[in-house]
Homo-oligomer: A and B are copies of this chain.
Amino acid sequence: MRDEIAIFREFVRMKGLRNTPERETIIREICATRDHFDVDELYLRLKRKKKKISKPSIYRLIPLLLEARLIQEAYFEEGHLHYEPIYGREHHCHLRCLNCGKTIEFTEEFLDKLETKLAEEYDFVIRGHKLEVFGYCSKCKLHI
C-alpha cells in the first residue's frame, strides 16, 4: 500500500494534478483488502471507519486510478461496475457463478501469447485483456 501511494503521488505530479489526504485515504482503503469493490461498498467501508469522504470524490478518483494502473474494471454486475486493485499482482481472470456470484481467480499464460498474436495480425498495440468465464459452481449446478 505504501507503494500504491508513492505511485499515485508520482502519477499526479507527472500529470500536473494534486494529491490530497482524501485521495490517499481512498487508496489505502482499496489496498487494505486487495479485494473486489464497487463505489457504494467502498463508500460505506470508509463511512464505517468515520472517514469523511464523499461519493463524488470516489467517482472522480477512479479514472485516475485506472489510468495509473492501480486498479482495473473487474466486471459489470447488479447494474454497476466492480473494480479490483491490481498493482503488484499477477494478471488474472475470473470464473464466476451465475447463480451465487462465487468468484474464482485463475491465471492463464496462454493469453499473453494470444495478445502477441493479435498485435501482429491486426497491427494493434495491446494494453490488456479481460476474460470472464461463467457458469454454475459445484453447489449451484445441482439446483439449476
Task: Pick from A22-30, A57-65, A110-118 the stretch touching chain B.
Answer: A110-118
Number of chain A residues close to chain B: CB under 8 A: 34
Number of copies: 2
CB within 8 Å of B: which A114-144 residues: 114-115, 118-119, 121-138, 141, 144
Write the chain B residue with the least CB distance to A133. Answer: B129
Q: Which of B97, B108, B124 contacts A97 (CB 8 A)?
A: B124
In the assembled complex, how far is the CB of residue A130 from the closest CB belonging to chain B, in whole angstroms? 5
User: Inside 8 A of A141's CB, which chain B residues have their CB?
Assistant: 123-125
A-B contact pairs, 8 of them (CB 8 A): A73-B76, A106-B122, A124-B135, A125-B144, A126-B135, A127-B134, A130-B132, A131-B132
